[in-house]
Each structure stands twice: as structure tokens, then as C-alpha cells.
Structure 1
Amino acid sequence: MKAIIIGAGIAGIATAIRLAVKGYDVEVFEANSYAGGKLSEIHLGEYRFDAGPSLFTMPQYVDELFELAGKAQQFKYHKLDINCQYFYEDGTTLTAYADEVKFMKEVAEFTDEDPANVMRYFKNSRNIYHITNHVFLERSLRRLKTYLRWDTVKSIFRFGQIDAFRSMHQANVDFFKDKRMVQFFDRYATYNGSNPYQAPATLNVIPHLEQHFGAYFPEGGMYSITTSLVELAKSVGVRFNYNSPVDEIVLNGLKVKGVKVRGELHVANVVVSNMDVWFTYNKLLKSYPKLQPKKILKQERSSSALIFYWGIGKGFAELDLHNIFFSADYQAEFNAIWKERGIYHDPTVYVNISSKFKPDDAPAGCENWFVMINVPANMGQDWDALIAEARKNILNKLSQRLGEDIGSLIRCESVLDPRAIERITSSYQGSIYGTSSNGQFAAFLRHANRSPKVKDLYFCGGSVHPGGGIPLALLSGKIVSDWVDM
């Protein structure tokens, strides 16, 4: 039985491993010259940067692939003591320790919040996780057998506890009196490209994933997740074809026949698309317009990102691996992104510095800064003008907060914007998480992992169920594998 995977993103690789273990002959076709999709790397002189995802949580989903394949664990990582450093415009600096006791001391010392409220919040986050995890994250919502399980029945009866009928921000305002803590927890909406003033409070499950399960750093940097899984896939017989963009998914009636690559037909029993679902239908299935799920393809897209890769000619002891420099007016920032489709003049800036844990990512005494802000999806904006203005504002913000002229320390630079994200990763409009989760039930309305109309056509990756980000992308592969029969 032959399975073809379209795209060597992290979900495609995970799906390939799982299908190979089930006994399929698996072949992957990737348009780029490398694997990983967004989870790739770039080099600028002596500096190395992880190009895309920079936060690693839920490592058990990577471990599970090695266990499933019966191979020795080659992928190494360690848990962070500090999840993130937060810098507020009022001068407050808050260290989010992984240890809850230490974090509560930080909250008590540097904010006006009662730590008991934070602990109550974490308990609520944990509760949402236990209600939704086995139903939403690890199984398809489009299979009858999902609803015949006792844990699903229990979750349905507890549905009111997932807080789906108010926004994240509304819930956070009710939990906390200190605006800094409200902003701290509102930020988690950006983990899947959503707006905390619109996204349902169900997404307040996300802090549990980071605080309870922890944040980690892979020994070889984030890109080592990709390279380790590619080697694992090869060890179970998966074949990778790079520089091989798929032109078309070929059908025989309403059953998959295979794919065309440079005009050549590659026959398969099963085809799994790791390409963004929008491009899957509008490019690979363009000959079959009646198959398009029009409502799904019209759903609001997630936010995108503007990333500056800066080689910095100095070390900063006050910074950690993950650093957030908050906007003074969070709601105005999200209004600029979601309503005005622009970039706020005082954006929240995320700075990731992998050389803190992998020193060879930068020359001695220097650091590699991955500097990112949230921006709208590409809808024809004047990005050149927006990027120039954003760069100036980011440099001013960081320079003022750190007491250094950051611009003068930049030794090399590369820029990634929504246009390039769309071009390089086939993410429609450059939206890095597929559709947004801004509606009450938007997260439950993503495209399913199997075509409802075409037999043996499946979907994985961040644009389909259960969503974007490394853990959910890996789980999409698990759902596909559970659905595919030999």
C-alpha cells in the first residue's frame, strides 16, 4: 500500500513516520530544498537562526514518534527554568519561572496581584485542558467513534466549564485586578494567531500547556526537531523528494489516484496533504471546484508575523531565551492588526535568543536575535512601507528599554514578512496558523483531517484540525494515522 505525503512540514514528517510504522510504503514530495516548512533555519555569516517556531512545548509528542518506531531516542532537549522574561512599558520586569512557587513570589513582589488569583487561574486552565484534550486535541471531531467514548460523554456534560461564551480578555479581567497580569495572560491568544478581545476564553487552556508541562529547548536548536524526525522517518523507510512541488492531486472519480509532479503521475492508495488547505483546494484540486468547502475556505485567517533576524554585536545579560516587550496599549495594538489591517506604532516585541543556550549560534560575545511582532495576514498592504516604519519603532522601543542603541549593534540582518511566508511555506495570505480562533467555536470548525468527498484523501498541518503550532501539528498526524486503514 502506497502513501504519498505532500509537503515535508513537521506534520507531514510525523504522518509519514506513523504510516510507515503501520506498513505503508511512504514517499514525501517537498517543494523546497529542505524539510521542516516553517520549522527551518537560516545562516547569516557566523550567525544561525531558527527561522520560524521558537517555543517548544509538549515534547512527549516527539518522544512518542521514536517510541512508536521502536528507535532509540536521538532527539535531546531540556526543560527551561525560565519560560519567558516580560518587560512592561511602566518599567516592570517580570520573570515567568517554570517553578510555580518562584513565579508566585515574582507576582507578589512586582505586581499588585494576589498570587492566589494566579493559582486559581492555573487551576481553571488545567480544568479546561482535561475537558478538551482527549476529545478535541487527539481525535477527529468528524468521527462517530469519538462520541461513543466515555471520556467524550463526560466532556460534553462539562461543556459549560470550558468558558466558550466570553472572550479571553473578559475572563482575564474577571480573574485579575492588575492590568499587567491581564496583559500577561491575554498574550496567549497569539500562540495560535488570534485576538484575545475576540477569541473565546476556552483558549485560556494554553497557559496550562506551558506552565504545567513546561517549555523546553532542543539541544541543537528548534531546527533539530525537524532534522531528528527526518532521520527517524528515513530509518523506517520513508523517502523524501526535495525540489519536487506537487502540481496536482489526481482523482479517479471520487477516489484518490495519486499526484502529478512535473507532469509525471505517481500512483498512491492514500494521499495526505500537508499543504495549507486553501492551496490544496485552489491549486492541487483546482480541476475539481465542486469539491471546495467554500465556507471553510472563507474563514478569517490567523495573524501573520514580521520577523527581523539580527546578528547583534554584544551580549545582554538581562535577556533570556524568550523575551517579551509589551505594548503600552494592548487593545489598540490588536485593533490595528485585526480592524485596520496594519501595524501599531508601539507593537509588542518578542525577542528570541537561541545563542543563550546554543553559544555557537553567534560569535563569542555576540547574540542572534530573532525579533518578531504580530501583524495582519497579507491582503495587499504596502508591506515595504509598513516594514520600514515597524523597524524604526521596534529599534526605538528596544533601545529605550535596554539603554543601548540597538541599531548600531546590528551586524547582519534578514527580514521575513507575510508575503515571503506565503511564498516559501504555501501559507495562504502568510497566516501562520491557518484560520483564526476568534469566533466562539472557530477552533471546532477547522477543516477535518479527512476529505468528506474524496476517498483516501487526508489533511494534516496547522491549517486543519486541531490547529497550528508544533504540538497540534504533530497531533494532526496522529489523527490522520488513526483514521487511515491498511
Structure 2
Amino acid sequence: MKKKVIIIGSGIAGIAASIRMAIAGCEVEVFEANTYPGGKLSEITLGRYRFDAGPSLFTLPEQVEELFTLAGQDVNDHFKFKKLDITCQYFWENGQRVRAFGDIEKFAEEMNTKIGEPVVNIRKALQSAAYIYEHLSPLFMHRSLHKWNTWMNPHALRSYLKMGKLGIFDTMNAANEKLFEKDKTIQLFNRYATYNGSNPYQTPATLNIIPHLEFNIGAFFPEKGMHDITLSLYKLSKDLGVKYHFGQKVTEILVKDKRAYGIAIDKMEHRADTIINNMDMVNAYKTILKNQYQPTKLLNQPKSSSALIFYWGIKKHFPELELHNILFSDAYQKEFEHIFHQKTIYKDPTIYINITSVHKPDDAPEGGMNWFTMINVPNNQGQNWDNLIQEARQNIIHKVNRILNTDIESLIEVEEVLDPRSIELKTSSAQGSLYGNSSNNKYAAFLRHANFSSSIKNLYFCGGSVHPGGGIPLCLLSAKIMAEMALKHQ
């Protein structure tokens, strides 16, 4: 008789978990409060403009490919993507511009020509990122940190001797100040802290692993947009027999004698042998696990930053812009002090503009562009967001106008806004944080919830709020780590 699995939430980790459990021969049902799958990895359509709603950078595509391979499918028949020649373009107020080429040597030459950073420093930084990845990814990305065999295997034992070189004891900024000569290079590499909602002046230098993904391995773009990651995996899961129930908000995980045996939706019970929670861990304990033991230390950890996003349909083509664009603040450290310490938005924010119509022209009408315009902001702690949004919008517009020499407001045809309040409402992310707990201390990796419950049997966790963390690759890996555990104990 098939084992029954219930998954709460259809974020990308929940979908990946459903695929893995279905391939293993389980009967899988997914219950989702929203009317659509994907969580943050969804899309928005405004008139003639289409936007990927959330994550916009695609790295480690092999994590998607693996799911199709496990299902006996050729990924190219279902999901196509291409490697980017230019991973990002950077702008500063003084007129300096840098193209981050996917080719490392071209990028190093660009940094030398435009910024004056010695080529050798860029090479050393990316060699260091590869070194960190080689030694830490098997521990922190591919295995549970909450099982003794992770720490006692030969790879782990070899890595212990290299902790000093892996950035455990430095902050990201301190490490980058040692690596580079130019302030703008330091700023560019400090930006990678924002990939998991952290502060480069606090987060450990181990996060210098991230440039390895973007440069040494590569950044990619799905030919049909980021939302196609959700759609292709959702279709694969349904082809494998997974059943979805949308508009179904789980009200409780049912537990008896310290064993999870089902879920409740209001007074309706659904029983299963295994329960997998893909909902944000903090909100799950506050709601559907409120009658169970509360891991208070983990729940009370500071949360990552959030985002303020303006989806703008722009009725003009800007040939100088790429898929990914960064307009840097002139006072980077002050910006992070405002986000993480003052819990507000700095007057000169760093602006990220993602424009998928550069590679997918049908996302905007001819002659136009779809601007996903985002700044990093604090998570929701009751700030006056209406005032903050109005002020931030003006500061963003003024900065864009200065750097691109334009009048952007007159070009905005359609607009929608996403802020920390609406992020929490739509995705159940605690305080609207994008990546769960923050990584602003050296122990942060150990202060994420495990992929299993230590107090309730048959209950497992996946997604960006638990180990190994947020972002598409880590969410997919969380599903993999979790599934291996759940199947082992069935």
C-alpha cells in the first residue's frame, strides 16, 4: 500500500518535495492557501506587461535538471534556459559603469579598465569563492547540519583544518577590504550579502561563496522567464500524480502521542503517514503548530531584510540596460545601518532593476520595457509603510533620472507595488522577510530550523525559512535533504 504524504504549501521547495516523494512511490497531496502555485516564484501581469513577481536570478540550474532526470524526463523537452554573457550591469552616481561579464577574464579586465582594480585581485577573489564552495557546500548546502554523520564524515574532518581560510572569523566586508584596492570593487562584492537578506558589515565572509555561483558556474535565464521554473516543475509533479488543493488554508497539523498524522482545514481532517511543511517556519509554529512545543530560540532569531518592489511598465526602450542592473548608493554602509539598525529606508537606496524583456521581448509591448524595480528594506515591524513607500518612490525616481538622464515617471504606464506587509500576506513569510532568519552572525547557519522535527515524528520541513536557506537553489536543496530523510524513516 502506498504511503500517503501531505505537503503544506506549494512554494518551489514544496513542489520539488512533491516530485521527489512521488518518484519514490508515495501518494502525494499538496494544500496551498493561495489560488496558484510557486509562492514568491510567481508572476504578475499588468496590461501589456508581464513581470516575474519574486526571485529574478537563476543559478545552479542542475538542481532543476535533476528533478526531471529523476523522473526519467529530458529537461530540454520541458524547460529551456541560457547562460548570460553579462550577469549584471553596475552604475554609480559619478558616471562610472561596469559590465559584469560571465567570462571571468573579461570581467577582470572590465574592473581594471573602469574601476582601476588590478586583474589579479578579481582572479584571487573568485578563486577564493571557489575554494569556499568546494569545502563548505557539501556541509552547508547538501547535508543536514542537524545530524551527527554530517560532522563526522571525512570531507567534514578535512574542512575543519581550513576554517580560517573559509571566512568563518571575518565579516564579508572585512574580507573584501583585504582582497581589493578600490572601494567600488568592495561595494560590488559586498552586494552579495543581499542575496540572502544580510548585512555585509555583519555577515560572515563565508558568504563570499556566492560569487562562485554567479561567475565560476554562471548565471542563467529561463527562456520563458523565471516563473517557468514554477510552471515546468508544477506540471512535472502533476504528471507524476501529485494532487493539488488550492485556496485551502491549513489550520492545524494534527499530532497525537508526539506523532503527526494529518492536517485540519477548519474542521475537515486529512490524514497521512508523512507531513511536510513548506510554510514559513515561524508562522507555522504560530498558527498550525501553536499547540505544540515551540523552539523559542529559533523563532526569536532576527529576520532577514525584506523588499520594496515597484513593477513598472515603461513605455521606452533603454538600450544601455541589461537583464540585471544595479544603481549603487554612494553611502553603502549607511544604507545597511538604516535597514538593520534603524529599521527604515535610507534616502539614497541601492536600486536593482530587473528587465526580463531584454531577453524575452513579449514581456513588454514593442518599444517598452518591464521594470522590476526593487530596493532592500527592513522587515515589517510596524513601520509607517505608506509614508516610507511614498518617500522611497520619489528617491528612486530621482536617482534613476540622475543616473540615466531621463524623466522616468512620465514613462510609467502601469504600476503595482509589493512591500513587506503584502509579502507576508501573500507568502506567509514572517514579518515579510525574504529569507527567514538573517545571517548576520557567524552562527546563523546553525540557527536555522532543521529539515525535520526533533519533537514530532513524521513531521518534516523544507523551504527558504529552514536549512539550508533562502533562494531558489537552496530551497530546491532543502527539498532534497528533507526527502532523503523522510524516505529513510518511512
Normalised-by-shorter TM-score class: over 0.9
SS at 1:86 equivalent: strand
Residue 56 of structure 2 corresponds to 54
SS at 1:32 equivalent: coil
How far apart, in 2, do the equivalents of 1:456 and 1:431 lie? 28
- CA shift for structure 1 position 150: 1.6
How far apart, in 2, do the equivalents of 1:244 and 1:58 lie? 32
2:324 counterpart of 1:322: yes
21, 24, 41: which one aligns with 2:23: 21
Residue 298 of structure 2 corresponds to 296
Residue 268 of structure 1 corresponds to 272
SS at 1:372 equivalent: strand
Q: What's the CA shift string for 1:423-465, capped at 9, x where partnerless?
A: 0000000000000000112122211000010001000000000
SS at 2:186 equivalent: helix
How far apart, in 2, do the equivalents of 1:116 and 1:312 lie? 40
Residue 363 of structure 1 corresponds to 365
Residue 305 of structure 1 corresponds to 307
Q: In structure 1, what residue type is equivalent to 2:105?
A: V
Residue 393 of structure 1 corresponds to 395
How far apart, in 2, do the equivalents of 1:441 and 1:97 lie? 33
Residue 382 of structure 1 corresponds to 384
57, 61, 65: which one aligns with 2:67: 65
Residue 164 of structure 1 corresponds to 168
How far apart, in 2, do the equivalents of 1:422 and 1:106 lie? 40
Residue 202 of structure 1 corresponds to 206
- Give the alignment of 1:272-291 within 5 angstroms: 272-288=276-292, 291=293
SS at 1:146 equivalent: helix
225, 240, 245: which one aligns with 2:244: 240
Q: What's the CA shift string for 1:325-349, capped at 9, x where partnerless?
A: 0000100100110111000000000
How far apart, in 1, do the equivalents of 2:159 and 2:22 lie? 33
Residue 194 of structure 2 corresponds to 190
- CA shift for structure 1 position 159: 2.2
Maintained 8 Å contact 2:306/2:420: yes
97, 100, 105: which one aligns with 1:93: 97
How far apart, in 1, do the equivalents of 2:98 and 2:159 lie? 35
Q: What's the CA shift string for 1:278-320, capped at 9, x where partnerless?
A: 01111001122xx110000000000000000000000000000
TM-score (norm 2): 0.98
Maintained 8 Å contact 1:164/1:441: no
How far apart, in 2, do the equivalents of 1:196 and 1:144 lie? 30
- Give the alignment of 1:106-145 within 5 angstroms: 106-145=110-149
- CA shift for structure 1 position 243: 0.5
Maintained 8 Å contact 1:302/1:431: yes
Q: In structure 2, what residue type is equivalent to 1:398?
A: V
- Give the alignment of 1:344-363 within 5 angstroms: 344-363=346-365
- CA shift for structure 1 position 56: 0.4
Maintained 8 Å contact 2:5/2:28: yes
Q: In structure 1, what residue type is equivalent to 2:73?
A: K
Maintained 8 Å contact 2:462/2:482: yes
Cα RMSD, aligned residues only: 0.8
235, 257, 260: which one aligns with 1:253: 257
477, 480, 483: which one aligns with 1:478: 480
Gaps of 5+ in 1: none
Q: In structure 2, what residue type is equivalent to 1:275?
A: M
- CA shift for structure 1 position 162: 1.2
Q: In structure 2, what residue type is equivalent to 1:23?
A: G
SS at 2:74 equivalent: coil
- CA shift for structure 1 position 389: 0.2
How far apart, in 1, do the equivalents of 2:446 and 2:204 lie? 12
449, 466, 482: which one aligns with 1:464: 466
Maintained 8 Å contact 1:192/1:433: yes
387, 391, 407: which one aligns with 1:405: 407
Residue 5 of structure 1 corresponds to 7
Q: In structure 2, what residue type is equivalent to 1:393?
A: N
- CA shift for structure 1 position 102: 1.1
Q: In structure 2, what residue type is equivalent to 1:417?
A: D
Q: In structure 2, what residue type is equivalent to 1:44?
A: L
Aligned residues with identical type, % of pairs: 54
How far apart, in 1, do the equivalents of 2:161 and 2:406 lie? 55
Moved more, 257-266 or 1-10: 257-266
Residue 426 of structure 1 corresponds to 428
How far apart, in 2, do the equivalents of 1:34 and 1:181 lie? 41
- CA shift for structure 1 position 144: 2.2
- CA shift for structure 1 position 192: 0.1
TM-score (norm 1): 0.99
Maintained 8 Å contact 1:79/1:217: yes
Maintained 8 Å contact 2:92/2:403: no
Residue 231 of structure 1 corresponds to 235
Large movers: runs of 4+ above 3 Å: none
How far apart, in 1, do the equivalents of 2:105 and 2:178 lie? 23
Moved more, 381-390 or 66-75: 66-75
Maintained 8 Å contact 1:135/1:155: no
Q: What's the CA shift string for 1:203-250, capped at 9, x where partnerless?
A: 111100111111111011000000000011111111111111111000
Moved more, 229-238 or 303-312: 229-238
How far apart, in 1, do the equivalents of 2:421 and 2:165 lie? 39
Maintained 8 Å contact 2:126/2:211: yes
Residue 436 of structure 1 corresponds to 438
Residue 221 of structure 1 corresponds to 225
How far apart, in 1, do the equivalents of 2:300 and 2:463 lie? 18
How far apart, in 2, do the equivalents of 1:251 and 1:88 lie? 55
- CA shift for structure 1 position 416: 0.1
How far apart, in 1, do the equivalents of 2:151 and 2:380 lie? 38
SS at 2:21 equivalent: helix
Maintained 8 Å contact 1:34/1:242: yes
Q: In structure 1, what residue type is equivalent to 2:400?
A: L
Maintained 8 Å contact 2:90/2:325: yes
